[in-house]
Amino acid sequence: MTQADDRILETLSDSGLILSPRVLAVNTDYSRHYLSTRLGKLHDADLVDRVDEGLYQITDHGRAYLNGDLEADELEPEP
C-alpha cells in the first residue's frame, strides 16, 4: 500500500461517488496513468470495484482498511 492508495480510497469514500482515474487525478496530486495502475492493484486487493471500464468505487474491504479494521499486511499476497 502506498500513500497514493490511501488518498484514492479516501477520495472514493469521502465522495461516495463512482470515479474515473481522470477525475481522481484532477482531485489529487497524481497522474491519471499512475492512478490507473494503482486502481488495478487496489482492485486486485478487493479494495475497489471496477463498476465499468475505467470507473471505480470503494468496497466494504476498502472502508474496513480506512477504518483500521483491516491491516495492509493482510492484503499482500502470500509467497
pLDDT at 77 over 60: no
Reported as half-sphere exposure (CB side, CA atoms, 13 A), residue 48 has a value of 31
> What is the pTM (predicted TM-score) of this model?
0.88
Give the percent of the chain with pLDDT over 70: 95
Query: According to CATH, what is the number of the domain 3-69?
Result: 1.10.10.10
pLDDT tens for each residue of 9-45: 999 999 999 999 999 999 988 999 999 999 999 999 9
54 SS3 class = coil
Helix axis angle, 3-15 to 32-44, nearest 10°: 80
Query: 55 phi and psi, to 5 degrees?
Result: -125, 130
Domain ranges in the chain are: 3-69
- Going from the C-alpha of 50 to that of each of 38, 47, 68, the distances in angstroms are 13, 10, 23
